[in-house]
């Protein structure tokens, strides 16, 4: 009776090598599919937030929330995350699936990062009770504080009934709860730069490479779309925001003027 034929060592090594080769081919593809799924879920979250904002303004004669100001002569603060909370059921809707862990875990305290969420360390509520990885366009607020300058007040989108709402950012991927971009803001010098390193540039807060050269954003008309990192300079953040600023093609920017980490991405 003939004995059963067994694998030789060479044959076994060949099989292992083939499996390893297949894994090396499939793993990047699986990672891309997983990230694409997270991008779709992120857009779904933002769509829900857009709907929540729409319901809030409908209940408040078209006006947006008061905003961050909590000075004694301005009344109680009415942050967006508190104002629209009654209009959505799941608190995790404020978390991009690419950034669910808190920045405190990497030593950023309450500040988020590209793949980390920001959190309230007591000033928005009990520690750990308020968190998110999206930020609002700070210019979309109905702030009535009398100490606010006329220049700042004029820039605001206080009411939802305005023209061009499909190009007015409402909320987007961000490393902080809000952002107040201006057309003259310089981009981050390096990827995942902590915005506190440059207090004069609010665009740092939203220029996060969370979706492979893009962020997701919802606009005042509730539309949701992917936004190229350099595209952020051609959105109408506030009433005086110039769409042909220094960092746009219309303003004469060249690819080599961008920080190294941004040069490979599309110009606008």
Instruction: Identify the three-state secondary structure at position 169.
Output: strand
What is the C-alpha to C-alpha distance for residues 75 and 140, in angstroms, rounded to an integer? 18
Strand runs (DSSP E) across the chain, as ranges?
118-119, 131-132, 134-137, 169-173, 178-179, 214-219, 224-228
167-184 pLDDT, tens digit per residue, is 999 999 999 999 999 999
Alpha helices by DSSP H, listed for the chain, are 9-59, 80-83, 150-155
What is the C-alpha to C-alpha distance for residues 268 and 257, in angstroms, rounded to an integer? 13
Mean pLDDT of all residues belonging to the chain? 88
**CA proximity to 142, closest of 221, 67, 81:** 67
Q: Using the Cα atoms of residue 197, residue 233, residue 190 and residue 39 in order, give the sign of their dihedral.
A: positive
What's the pTM value of the predicted model, to 2 decimals?
0.85
Query: Considering the chain, what percentage of its residues have pLDDT values greater than 90?
Result: 66
What is the C-alpha to C-alpha distance for residues 177 and 81, in angstroms, rounded to an integer? 8
What is the C-alpha to C-alpha distance for residues 118 and 101, in angstroms, rounded to an integer? 9
117-149 pLDDT, tens digit per residue, is 999 877 677 777 789 999 999 999 988 777 788
In this structure, what token pair is assigned to residue 44?
A: 């779904």
Return left, alpha or beta for 170; rule: phi > 0 is left, psi -120 to 50 is alpha, else beta: alpha
Residue 76 has pLDDT above 90, yes or no: no
């Amino acid at each position: 009776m003939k004995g059963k034929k067994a694998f030789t060592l060479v044959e076994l090594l060949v099989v292992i090598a083939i499996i390893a080769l297949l894994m090396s081919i499939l793993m990047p593809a699986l990672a891309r599919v997983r990230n694409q799924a997270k991008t779709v879920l992120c857009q779904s979250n933002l769509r829900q937030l857009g709907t929540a904002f729409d319901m809030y303004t409908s209940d408040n004669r078209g006006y947006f929330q008061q905003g961050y100001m909590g000075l004694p002569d301005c009344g109680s603060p009415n942050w967006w995350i508190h104002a629209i909370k009654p209009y959505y059921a799941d608190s995790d809707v404020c978390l991009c699936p690419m950034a669910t862990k808190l920045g405190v875990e990497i030593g950023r305290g309450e500040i988020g990062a590209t793949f980390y969420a920001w959190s309230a360390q007591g000033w928005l509520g009990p520690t750990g009770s308020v968190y998110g990885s999206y930020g609002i366009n700070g210019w979309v607020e109905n702030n009535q504080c009398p100490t606010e300058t006329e220049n700042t007040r004029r820039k605001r989108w206080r009411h939802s009934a305005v023209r061009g709402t499909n190009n007015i950012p409402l909320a987007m991927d961000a490393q902080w709860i809000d952002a107040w971009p201006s057309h003259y803001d310089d981009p981050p010098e390096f990827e995942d730069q902590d915005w506190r390193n440059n207090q004069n540039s609010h665009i740092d807060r939203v220029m996060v490479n969370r979706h492979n050269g893009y962020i997701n954003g919802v606009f005042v008309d509730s539309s949701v779309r992917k936004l190229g990192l350099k595209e952020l300079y051609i959105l109408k953040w506030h009433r005086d925001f110039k769409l042909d600023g220094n960092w746009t093609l219309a303003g004469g920017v060249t690819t080599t003027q961008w920080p190294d980490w941004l040069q490979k991405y599309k110009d606008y």
